[in-house]
Amino acid sequence: MIKKAIVIVILVLISCKKNVEKSIATSFSSNQKQIISWYNKAYSLKNSDYFKIKDYADSIKKVNTEEPTDFKALAFLCDGIYYHRIGEEQLSFKNFNSALNLLKKTKNDSLLVTAYSGLGNYYKNNGDYPNSLKNLLQSLKLAEKLKDTVKIGGIHANLGQMYLQKDDNVLAKHHLDISCKILQNHKKSGPYLIAIHTMANIYGMGGDYKAALQLDDEGLKISEIIKSNDLKATFLDNKANCFMYSNRLDSAKYYFDACLKLDLFNKNQKQISDSYANLAQLALFSKNSSEVEHYSNLSISIAEKVNYNPGLVKNYKVLIDLYKSQGNYKKALEVSEKYQLVYKKLINEKKEAQIAELNTFYEDEKKEKELLISKAKVSEKEIQIKNKNTQFQILGLVSLALLIISYLIYRQQKLKNQQQEQEFLLKSEIKEIENHNKLQEQRLVISKDLQDSLGAQLTYIISSIDNLKFAKLIENEKVEKQLTKISNYTKSTFIELRDTIWAMKSSEYTFEDMQSRISNFTEKALAEKTNIDFQFIIDDNVKNTKLSLIVGINLYRSIQEVVNNAIKFSEANQIKVTISKGKIAIQIEVQDNGKGFDMENIEFGNGLYNMKKRIEEINGEFKVDSIAGKGTIIYINIDK
């Protein structure tokens, strides 16, 4: 969600008045005082009317042309804050990077903390965790040197966010604990709210909703005190999600609505779109199809206007789940195609952002190089006047050029690798959707088989009972025989129903599960044939092998039918099922010592044909080997 993705880098920026007054100078001109005043006002608007920040940034630019580097950097920092707040991350990066390049020359530690933090959070929000960690740790090092408690606590909060995004909850909680401890006396600050909001996310994702809601309530109270609607919205959003995933849907609706009201008041279109998407997700939980489509369409309409592709992806996922739950696979496929198009677009946007980042770096390096060349020329003239020695300067420039070229090659390769990773993720998601569709089709086939099979069997039972009911003269012995036949047929029907329900109730099985079901089946089948010795042997290294629903059902039905045929027709006194692991496949053998048959003069019936078809559907091999008078072996090989 956008509120969790933003979590506001600006909150860890410097308390500007103190920072500027401590770090730039102790005595200012009237123009410099005006610049500081505008910067302070811009910073104070970071959580409220942040659209005005741009006006202050532009005002600073107009009057700082003759000012020292530190004052010029303040305009870039303002723009970095502004563009981050409106979601223009690439422009935010460009301005923070420009500020950093200026501040490196002055070595102003206090303002460098701000620049490094801004870049660290930019990389964090774009998933570039190595660069995020590098910049945040550099910022932390400078903050610790300054002994600035609020800055140190804020940077630890951002490190906690980064590790949470990386799914490393241990390190995330470590940094958040440090942040909360450091900021105990600064609870009415943005960094403290970042820390407890991120900690609430960890508790919520771990299912500890009580702990998460306690932190959310604390955050809401502090947000009210400091009059920050944006921060209040993030806690409302988190609280609503806790209620939704703990199945307290009425409470979730209340807090999602409250969050939407704040978003509408703040006029942030991306957050409004995100809140409508949350309400659509809630409606899906509540099984309210009309509301799902209503809120999703509102969210999609806004997301399309502001080109908010993450919002579109979120809504398409909700609609795909809705249409699948309705059995409307045609619509689900249509939305899935839209989802894939937008997902590809997101990958391309990320690639373009990385290229733009590289270009920004290159342009900055180019300017530095031009500056060095210019200085080198001046030095060369001076040295020519003295001793005409320029070799060291030329060597330095060549080395710098080689370093730049090497870095550009490295970055291009890194971009290529990241693109390949994203393309692999996309293919994986598409494959997952296809597998899910196949799974649903298999469930439909099983349901149809169940309906047809049980329908025929129950019709036979009803017909038999009616015949008994309306027969005029029936001997007691014949009645008893017919009733016994009906009883046995009913038991068979019940067993088949129970087996089918067992097969459908889980998404995966093991061979050990299958052994249990086959053993139950054979105990009943062998009740009247006590002369048969039945064995079911599974190697220990195969027992816990997990099988998908489709593979598990097809194997179970095939083995069940082979064993049943052997009991009924083979006249065998030994039946043995063996499951073992071969070099490239799992091998299943069903062997009996019955009458067998001549392979060259036998015509396979529907039973063997159906078994062969079942195994081939799961990309397995099915083979029959029999010798008249010596028994039969059925071989089934399944790829590991």
Question: What's the pLDDT tens digit per position in 313-331?
Answer: 888 888 888 888 888 888 8
Q: Which of 338, 327, 236 is closest to 278 using CA atoms?
A: 236
Between CA 350 and CA 356, with CA 352 as vertex, the angle to 5 degrees is: 115
pLDDT at 465: 67
Bridge partners of 624, per DSSP, are 634
Residue type present at position 358: L
pLDDT at 269: 85
Backbone angles phi and psi of 267, in degrees to 5: 60, 30
pLDDT tens readout for residues 186-195? 988 888 989 9
Strands 546-548 and 585-592 turn out to be unpaired
Cα separation, 250 vs 252, in Å, equals 5
Between 112 and 491, residue with greater pLDDT: 112
pLDDT at 83: 85
The arithmetic mean of pLDDT across residues 500-522, rounded, is 71
Q: Which of 3-7, 41-45, 379-383, 609-613 has the lowest mean pLDDT?
A: 3-7
Bridge partners of 592, per DSSP, are 575, 632
pLDDT at 211: 92
- Average pLDDT of the chain is 78
Bridge partners of 547, per DSSP, are 509
Within 8 A by CB and 6+ apart from 377, the residues are none
The arithmetic mean of pLDDT across residues 144-154, rounded, is 91
Q: Is the pLDDT of residue 589 over 90?
A: yes
Q: Which of 41-45, 271-275, 553-557 has the lowest mean pLDDT?
A: 41-45
Q: Is the pLDDT of residue 384 over 70?
A: no
Handedness of CA 622, 627, 633, 639 (dihedral sign): negative
Question: 131-140, 416-425, 536-545: which has the highest mean pLDDT?
Answer: 131-140
Q: Is the pLDDT of residue 507 over 70?
A: no
Contact (Cβ atoms closer than 8 angstroms) between residue 220 and residue 183: no
Q: Is the pLDDT of residue 613 over 70?
A: yes
Cα separation, 314 vs 279, in Å, equals 12
Between 235 and 465, residue with greater pLDDT: 235
Backbone angles phi and psi of 124, in degrees to 5: -60, -45
The arithmetic mean of pLDDT across residues 505-516, rounded, is 73
What's the pTM value of the predicted model, to 2 decimals?
0.51
Within 8 A by CB and 6+ apart from 116, the residues are 100, 135, 136, 138, 139, 142
The arithmetic mean of pLDDT across residues 201-208, rounded, is 89
Q: Is the pLDDT of residue 411 over 70?
A: yes
Query: Can you tell me which residue has the tokens 């409106």?
Result: 86
Cα separation, 28 vs 16, in Å, equals 15
Q: Is the pLDDT of residue 629 over 50?
A: yes
Between the alpha carbon of residue 463 and those of residues 71, 460, 472, 517, the distances in Å are: 96, 5, 16, 31
Query: 429: pLDDT confidence band, cut at 50, 70 and 90?
Result: low
Q: Which of 88-97, 210-219, 335-344 has the lowest mean pLDDT?
A: 335-344
Q: Which of 102-111, 136-145, 191-200, 615-624 has the lowest mean pLDDT?
A: 102-111
Q: Both tokens of residue 237?
A: 């959003």
Cα separation, 194 vs 9, in Å, equals 9
Q: Is the pLDDT of residue 179 over 90?
A: yes
pLDDT tens readout for residues 40-60? 888 777 766 677 888 888 898
pLDDT at 7: 37
Query: Can you tell me which residue has the tokens 């500007």?
Result: 16
Q: Both tokens of residue 207?
A: 């299912």
Contact (Cβ atoms closer than 8 angstroms) between residue 63 and residue 74: no
pLDDT tens readout for residues 218-230? 989 998 888 888 8
Q: Which of 100-104, 280-284, 428-432 has the lowest mean pLDDT?
A: 428-432
pLDDT at 466: 63
Query: 362: pLDDT confidence band, cut at 50, 70 and 90?
Result: very low
pLDDT tens readout for residues 460-500? 676 666 666 555 445 566 666 777 777 666 766 666 666 66
Handedness of CA 60, 63, 68, 69 (dihedral sign): positive
Between CA 273 and CA 352, with CA 430 as vertex, the angle to 5 degrees is: 60
